[in-house]
Amino acid sequence: MEKSLESKFAALKAQGLSIDLTRGKPGADQLDLSNALLSMEVFSQTPSGVDVRNYGEPLGILEARTLGASLLSAPVEKTLVGEQSSLLLIYQLILANYLFGLKTPWKDQENLKFICPVPGFDRHFRLLEDFGIEMLTIPLTGSGIDMKVFNALLQEHENIKGIVCVPRHSNPTGDTYSDENITAMLEAGQSYSEEFLFIFDHAYLLHDFLPSPDQTPTWELITRSGAEDQAAVFCSFSKVTFGGGGLAFASAGMPVFNLLARQRASMIVCSDKANQLRHVQFLKDQTGVIEQMKKHAEIVRPKFELAFAALDVVNPEIGTYLKPTGGYFISYNAKRPIAARVIELCKDVGVLITPAGSTYPHFYDPLDSNIRLAPTFLGMDELKVALEVFVTALMIAHQEAA
């Protein structure tokens, strides 16, 4: 190891750090933006006359459905409010297809497959793995999925049941899919099979922190392509109000919507309507949500800018990344197969980074190259140190692999 790197690494280690850069969680100052929710008086009746203290309204109170529908640009009657987790709603949709299906239950079919853009969200992979669904990976281009690979997979494979993707500020790459990309995907998937399921996980729908590409609402693209009956769009307030304490929404064409609602009806009588009303009272409408997200952006942007400044000094021969303009992550690609080693070195110094391979199905990154950085949770001082550790570890691992 180069002497200067060696002494820098030793000096960092001597600090006895304990910093967690793993999960994309909002910082405490972001959570403070929603403190009013903790002490807010919630009315017992909704404006539409529903008693939020009792059972009923399994699809959610009208006011919350209306808010979700406006965010997803979808019709209210095709939008439901779940509990606090969009991941849970996606899980329930896969389960519903597995048990019942739009035509044939997936459980009665063999060799189930799904298309997964990579690097991607580890929990999408875990979810599909739970059902024994084979994951066919597809690269991202910076503005969506690689359509050449998508078309080739459709040609090559039978029984692909659908795709799960994050079309805005994708986790972790930051891809915002172009309208052309989404439309091409919708057209190719529909031609492949009328049961091909499009799952759009809009976890970062409103989470811009820098000027971001314009995007036609996904629901509108779905409708224009005639793909309503095989599509569902999800979002949540997990990173709008409280992580794991917000509301989750799904909009879907009627067959998919009914399938999801039927599955949910076996699991839960209704979700927490008081929390739904509390959120409506707090955020009010789409404009209220957008205003709240501007406040998040003010807090999050300096953290990403700090990270960009630290990463931009690294020689591009060591690794590269695309600057996200929203979302919660930076996806760093080392040129040499050193991701696991970098993360090990960071851990040795007391900085935890998401395990290598997490952004690929079965934790297998074939190039051992991708590292997911999550800058939002830390304060600026800790983040600065964590990035210094990361960059030092990167340089050391790169030299070692020469």
Closest separation between CB of residue 235 and ligand PLP, Å?
8
Site membership for ligand PLP, residue 310 (CB under 6 A) = no
From 32-40, 83-91, 151-159, 281-289, span contacting ligand PLP (CB under 6 A): 83-91
Alpha helices, DSSP H only, in 134-178? 147-156
> Can you tell me which of 86, 225, 241, 331 binds ligand PLP, judged by CB under 6 A?
86
Site membership for ligand PLP, residue 377 (CB under 6 A) = no
Alpha-carbon span 61 to 161, nearest angstrom: 32
CB contact at 8 A, 183 and 167: no
Burial, 303: exposed, middle or buried (Cβ in 10 Å; 0-12, 13-18, 19+)? buried
Strands 231-236 and 160-165: unpaired
Nearer to ligand PLP, 97 or 241 (CB): 241
> Can you tell me which of 9, 12, 19, 24 binds ligand PLP, judged by CB under 6 A?
24
> Can you tell me which of 93, 140, 203, 280 binds ligand PLP, judged by CB under 6 A?
203
| Contacts for 237 with CB less than 8 Å, ≥ 6 apart | 84, 246, 247, 248, 279, 283
> Can you tell me which of 46, 73, 79, 85 binds ligand PLP, judged by CB under 6 A?
85
Closest separation between CB of residue 154 and ligand PLP, Å?
23
From 65-73, 85-93, 289-297, 391-399, span contacting ligand PLP (CB under 6 A): 85-93
- Contact pattern for ligand PLP over residues 172 through 201, marking x by CB under 6 A: -----------------------------x
Alpha-carbon span 366 to 391, nearest angstrom: 22
From 14-22, 56-64, 157-165, 236-244, span contacting ligand PLP (CB under 6 A): 236-244
From 82-90, 128-136, 182-190, 209-217, span contacting ligand PLP (CB under 6 A): 82-90
From 79-87, 146-154, 334-342, 355-363, span contacting ligand PLP (CB under 6 A): 79-87
Nearer to ligand PLP, 242 or 257 (CB): 242
- Exposure string (b/e) for 149-182, b if CB count within 10 Å is 16 or more? bbeebbeeeeebbbbbbbbbbbbbbbbbbbbebb
> Can you tell me which of 218, 225, 236, 292 binds ligand PLP, judged by CB under 6 A?
236
Site membership for ligand PLP, residue 331 (CB under 6 A) = no
Site membership for ligand PLP, residue 87 (CB under 6 A) = yes
What distances in angstroms separate CA 394 from CA 41, 291, 398, one per listed residue?
A: 50, 38, 6
Q: What backbone phi and psi angles, to 5 degrees, belong to 163?
A: -135, 145
CB contact at 8 A, 292 and 121: no
Residue type, 151: N
Q: What backbone phi and psi angles, to 5 degrees, belong to 358?
A: -60, -25
